[in-house]
Each structure stands twice: as C-alpha cells, then as structure tokens.
Amino acid sequence: MPTRRSFVRIACVLFTFTLGLTGAASAADDSREAPDPLPSWNDTPARSAILEFVRVSTTEGSPGFIPPEERIAVFDNDGTLWAEHPMYFQLAFAIDRVKALAPARPDWQDKEPFKSILAGDLKTALADGERAVVEIIMATHAGMTTDEFALAVSDWAASARHPRFDQPYTACVYQPMLELLACLRAGGFKTYIVSGGGVEFMRPWASRVYGIPPEQIIGSSGKTQFELRGGSPVLVKLPQIEFIDDKEGKPAAINNRIGRRPAAAFGNSDGDLAMLQWTAAGDPAHPGRARLAMIIRHTDAQREWAYDRESPIGRLDKALDEATSRGFIVVDMKADWKKVFAFEK
C-alpha cells in the first residue's frame, strides 16, 4: 500500500506523463517507486509542505480540496523563478539595447545615462538611481511596435550571457522552481507569473523556459497606441508607464486579470508581501481550502547569492518578519535546494 508521500509522487508523475511534460522515462509501473517529482529539493520541511499542499488540495473529499478551476498558483519572477543579480535581467537587456541602438542615436554620446553606458561605466550611468533606470527602460522599450519589441527580446534572449555564469540569462532559472511548476501543473494548477518585470519582456521566452503561456503572464506595462500604418493595424509602445505590477499592485492585478484568489503564491521579496498576504488569507467564501504562501530566501553566496534585509535588489525584510504569523513557508536556498541551476556540475 502506498504511503501518503508516494501517493503524491505517483499522482504528480502520472499527471506529468498524461500532460506530456516529460518523456524521460517509459510508462509508470506500480511495482516500482515512482520517480521523485522534486529531485532538486532536499528532504526538508519546505519540500514536505509543497507535497502535502498538492496532496490535500487535489484529493477529493479532503477538507482542503480545491475544485480544479480554482487551482491558481502565482509566481513572482525576478529572484523567485530566475536570478536577479548583479542586476535585474531586464535592465541588462535595456543596457544591451542602448549599445545596439547607439549608432542610430548620436545624441546619446553626450547625454546621461546613455553616455556612461556607452563608455562602459555602469556605476556612473546608474548613479541617479531609479530615475536613470526609468529613462533607460523608456528609451529602449518604447517607440517601436509590439512585434518589433518582441523580436528584440527574442534576439537578446538567444545571444546575451550572464556575466557571472557565462550562460544565457534564460538558463539562470532555478531548477527546483521548474520542478515545482511542473508538479503544480501535474496537480491541475494553472500557473501564472505575477512580476514587477515588463509583461512584454517576459513573454517572448517564458513559455519555452517555464511552460507558462503568454495569457498567464502578468507584469508591469507601458502604454501602447493603436495605429493604422498604410491601413495595417499596429500597436506602438509609448514611453509612458501604464501599470506597475509590484507591492500592493500585485493583488490588484491578480483580481483584475484572473478574478480569482490564488491558492498558492511564491515570492522572494517585500514586493511580494501583499500577494503573499492576499493568498495566505484564503478566500473568505471558502476558508477551509488549502493554500500555500512561500518565500524563497537567498542564502547561498556560493551557488547563487546571499541577500535579504539590506539588499537594494530583492529586499526581503517585512515579509520575513510576518512569515511566522501569516504562515508563509520560508525556503532556505542553501539548505532546501540540492541544486540551484540546471547547468551546475
């Protein structure tokens, strides 16, 4: 007779086969131990919490059971699904775009922050803080059609490499989180990204990398303008912010776009706190349903980075203080993850 854990394992694996998400092995065989759905997770309480959540939420008759259509899981991206150091990858993209666009923009040679970027002096370029970042993002994300922008992102994702790991940025995704995404989908969960990053920056590669389709990616956005060019409609990206999908904006966006309270939420910083609170509180109409709110804590300077309360990128302070009282599960990257990146030896 299977134990509870092996039941969840079998369920995850069978679903995974059914959905065709893996072709690594032949059909499951009842007589042998089912493959581990979370092989990159150590056998710690964090891993148990995930497997228990999947078991309870998908077992009909269990008090925590969640009807399939209500199985919504939301993931922050930067620092939760992929790395965010030494700078947000979208900023790395924008800086690479400044260099690529410079020949057509002679005015940038004498204008900050572009001048310093082109001189290779990032420290000076970004000395102005958020204002400089917004200026770089606007200058490199606007003034073209949405189709042109998607192409620029795809080209960058295929060619740019992370400075520390010498890997494509899209390879700097956390292997344990890919397994978690697959395990939740195997349990019938619809997985969403709810990120402060730009929605149009994520879509060109996120489907391939995370298995999350474009319509399940929510992010910050700039305004677009519909135009007929020679009779053909295009959407032109304007240098104006439409929505910042961060902090209190995250539950607001979830409500506006999904229209359901998530059953599971995953984040890594105070920017995710409101989303974690919103999820952990549960749906007042169905208080008994299982829910899972999880914080990925960066504790591994050797394999990744170690940062939390004092970090300018991915600051994790208030959310950590509230973890115990609100029932957030804190994942300690160093202790809980057997492997961080797939490319690790």
For helices 4-18 and 45-58, the axis angle rounded to 10 degrees is 70
What is the closest distance, in whole angstroms, from the C-beta atom of residue 120 to a copy of itself in the complex?
A: 35
Q: What gap in Å lies between CA 267 and CA 280, rounded to an integer?
A: 12
For the chain, state the CA radius of gyration: 21
Amino acid identity, residue 135? E
- Nearest Cα to 159, choosing from 205, 193, 198, 197? 205
CB-count burial class (<10 Å; 0-12, 13-18, 19+) for 270: buried
Is the Cβ of residue 118 or residue 281 nearer to a copy of itself in the bound state? 281
Tokens 């775009």 — which residue?
Answer: 97
What is the closest distance, in whole angstroms, from the C-beta atom of residue 235 to a copy of itself in the complex?
A: 5
Is the Cβ of residue 40 or residue 277 nearer to a copy of itself in the bound state? 277
Is the Cβ of residue 43 or residue 227 nearer to a copy of itself in the bound state? 227
Is the Cβ of residue 57 or residue 277 nearer to a copy of itself in the bound state? 277
What is the closest distance, in whole angstroms, from the C-beta atom of residue 313 to a copy of itself in the complex?
A: 23
- Which residues are at the interface with a copy of itself (CB under 8 A)? 69, 146-147, 190, 199-200, 203, 213-215, 217, 221, 223-226, 228, 232-233, 235, 242, 248, 251-252, 255-260, 274, 277-278, 281, 284-285
Is the Cβ of residue 39 or residue 214 nearer to a copy of itself in the bound state? 214
Is the Cβ of residue 106 or residue 233 nearer to a copy of itself in the bound state? 233
Give me the sign of the Cα torsion angle 195, 201, 203, 204. Answer: negative
Helix (H) or strand (E) holding 97: helix 89-101
8-state DSSP, 297: E
Is the Cβ of residue 2 or residue 67 nearer to a copy of itself in the bound state? 67
What is the closest distance, in whole angstroms, from the C-beta atom of residue 253 to a copy of itself in the complex?
A: 10
What is the closest distance, in whole angstroms, from the C-beta atom of residue 285 to a copy of itself in the complex?
A: 8
Give me the sign of the Cα torsion angle 161, 164, 166, 172. Answer: negative
Amino acid identity, residue 85? H
What is the closest distance, in whole angstroms, from the C-beta atom of residue 239 to a copy of itself in the complex?
A: 15
What is the closest distance, in whole angstroms, from the C-beta atom of residue 83 to a copy of itself in the complex?
A: 24
Helix (H) or strand (E) holding 130: helix 130-141
Q: What gap in Å lies between CA 115 and CA 117, rounded to an integer?
A: 6
